[in-house]
């Protein structure tokens, strides 16, 4: 399942992670595996899972574009765990695999994305490939579409999710209910 085995579910419940399991079941990102791995360090499990949930599922930027960004980043990180997971909230809002794949492809020339969405996708695309291109001019362009609070919401979400995706990649983890590759 993972190089680092998750803690037992009962132990996780004793540590107070039950509420997070409810969020996992409701949203689908992550599943229980991630907080149970982090559960080796209970304070981390609470803080990191909560921050990831807040930045992904809540906030003032459309959740579906953040879900496309999250998967784009997971694919770049080559993390099979987070790449395979899908937000039930985004799927219920109409997001499908074709649009998800488009967000990892030639999104710049894809008419299905608005100018704001293209900027957000470019932001995540460049962050870990060519961050030098994310300069003050790039941020000025972003401010044509998003408030500064929304840009911070996007940037923080990108940084946190990518960092945890890189970590999970090294654990060779896979979703609990997905077949291993």
Partner 1 sequence: MTEELIDEGIDNYRKSAAFTDAEKVALEYSELMQFAPEKIDAAFYGRLREHYTEAEIVELGAFIGFNVGYHTFFRTLDFYPMFSPDGSLVSQEESRRIYGEQPTSHLKGALDRATAGTGDQQQEGGE
Chain residues that interact with partner 1, rule: CB under 8 A: 3-5, 37-38, 40-41, 44, 48, 75-78, 104, 127-129, 131, 134-136, 138-139, 155-156, 158-167, 169-172
Minimum CB distance to partner 1, residue 25 (Å): 22
Give the residue with the Cβ less far from partner 1, 29 or 158: 158
Minimum CB distance to partner 1, residue 27 (Å): 20
Minimum CB distance to partner 1, residue 138 (Å): 8
Nearest to 54 by CA among 152, 127, 157, 168: 157
What does residue 21 show for φ and ψ, rounded to 5 degrees?
A: -60, -35
The Cα 154–Cα 55 span in angstroms is 8
Give the residue with the Cβ less far from partner 1, 13 or 138: 138
3-state SS, one letter per residue, for 57-75: HCCCCCHHHHHHHHHHHHH
Minimum CB distance to partner 1, residue 54 (Å): 15
Minimum CB distance to partner 1, residue 69 (Å): 13
Q: Which residue has the tokens 């293209």?
A: 118
Q: Could you tell me where the DSSP H helices lie in the chain?
A: 9-14, 18-27, 33-38, 42-57, 63-77, 80-84, 88-92, 97-103, 115-127, 136-143, 148-171
Give the residue with the Cβ less far from partner 1, 94 or 131: 131
Give the residue with the Cβ less far from partner 1, 64 or 165: 165
**Helix axis angle, 148-171 to 63-77, nearest 10°:** 40
Nearest to 116 by CA among 156, 154, 144, 137: 144
Q: Which residue has the tokens 């030639």?
A: 106
Give the residue with the Cβ less far from partner 1, 12 or 37: 37
């Amino acid at each position: 399942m993972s190089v680092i085995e998750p803690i037992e579910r009962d132990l996780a419940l004793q540590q107070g992670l039950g509420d997070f399991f409810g969020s996992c079941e409701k949203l689908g990102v992550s599943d229980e595996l991630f907080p149970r791995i982090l559960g080796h360090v209970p304070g981390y499990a609470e803080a990191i899972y909560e921050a990831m949930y807040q930045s992904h599922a809540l906030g003032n930027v459309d959740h579906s574009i953040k879900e496309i960004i999250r998967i784009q980043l997971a694919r770049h990180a080559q993390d099979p765990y987070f790449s395979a997971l899908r937000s039930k909230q985004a799927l219920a809002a109409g997001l499908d695999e074709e649009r998800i794949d488009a967000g990892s492809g030639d999104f710049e020339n894809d008419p299905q994305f608005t100018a704001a969405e293209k900027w957000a996708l470019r932001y995540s695309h460049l962050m870990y490939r060519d961050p030098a291109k994310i300069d003050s001019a790039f941020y000025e362009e972003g401010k044509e579409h998003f408030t500064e609070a929304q840009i911070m919401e996007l940037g923080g979400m990108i940084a946190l999710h990518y960092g945890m995706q890189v970590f999970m990649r090294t654990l060779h983890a896979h979703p609990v209910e997905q077949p291993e590759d």
